[in-house]
Amino acid sequence: MLLNGLKVLDFSGLLPGPFATMMLADLGAEVVHITKPATGEGRWIVDDYLQRSKKSLAVNLKDPTVIEHLRELVAHYDIVVEQFRPGVMERLGLGYEALKEVNPNIIYCSISGYGQTGPYKDKGGHDINYVSLAGIHGYSGSQQQGPPNLGIQIADLAGGSLHAVVAILVAVIYRTRTGEGQHLDISMTDCALALNALAAPEFLVQGKPLEREQMMLNGGSFYGHFETQDGRYMSVGSIEPKFRQALCTAIHRQDLLPLVMSYKSADELAFKQQLAEIFKAKTYEQWVEIFAKIDACVEPVLSFEETVTHPLFLARNMFVDITKEDGTIQKQLACPIKSNVFQPVYTAACEAIGEHNEDILGLSIK
């Protein structure tokens, strides 16, 4: 595996850190997840996914003896990932400077909502707050209903998790070249801000205000979702000229070509109104059948249940069967990274809490 030999101590919880270290584990890194001892409460079902292929240590981080054992352990590891608020790891004796004394080459990745510095560093937050402060929700959604409530975590995952993995791997390359470790400061809000890749230049370079339903991709054109006769939706992303032409061909409205090919805002909105009426004239299944034969960047809006059985994702092996500790099989999302050199590895759905305490630390669960 690509990351064989890399050893990671993962102090993170919830979603961003565990998702990042799961990716590292999928790619062959040895990840040890450090968590609290079991409380007897039910386990978060997402843990079976996020903690797959990781070893588990369950310890009391307020116990000085445990802290000393963990400091000794750091000498044998390459990477530390933590997701506490700034200052917590320092108070525990596990901050970067303290662990750097034990292992000068350690790569230490801190994931937090607002970063290790700045006026918001001690504030709590969630994905909705980070995305809002990053300006994304300021121009997303509709003028009538305001910002959207999304079903995925943009700042947590696309921000914190993915940027953390990139930063860690860059740090590994840097250490290979120089022998030096480093402290990585990953702010989920900073990373969400950086995702304004298309919109930001319009304001930063051209000084153009970013408003809802005023740009090509946020409702200011026919790019969007259209309801069908039976209350389902189709997504239309026919931006380029050839796709605009293919769209008009599919709906049998070549007469609308002058309107859609003008690229004028008023014409695009007029075409959008026409599309809304046209899509409501047929059922979802009828439109799916029509656009299955035409390359126009028009696809159905699937339920997740439909996505799980869709031929695209089945062909791409995007779902895997993982064996749980009790021997049962659980279906999970697969690692999306494909290569002709390596394959992701899934050793287990999720280890029992504290299963490796004695193997790694020589401690019974505390």
Hey, which residues are catalytic here? Answer: 126, 156
In which residue are the tokens 């970013």 written?
A: 210
C-beta pairs of 200-204 under 8 Å, 24+ apart in sequence: 200/135
Q: With beta carbons less than 8 A apart as the criterion, state whether 15 and 85 touch.
A: no
Residue 135: Cβ within 10 Å count:
17
Q: What secondary structure does DSSP assign to 236-250, as a single string?
A: E---SHHHHHHHHHH
Q: With beta carbons less than 8 A apart as the criterion, state whether 195 and 136 touch.
A: yes
Residue 274: Cβ within 10 Å count:
17
User: For residue 198, what are the CA distances in angstroms to 145, 189, 280?
Assistant: 23, 17, 31
Residue 76: Cβ within 10 Å count:
11
Strand partners, 187: 112
- The Cα 21–Cα 4 span in angstroms is 14
- The Cα 51–Cα 30 span in angstroms is 12
Q: With beta carbons less than 8 A apart as the criterion, state whether 271 and 223 touch.
A: no
Angle 255-257-258 (CA atoms, 0-180°, nearest 5)? 95
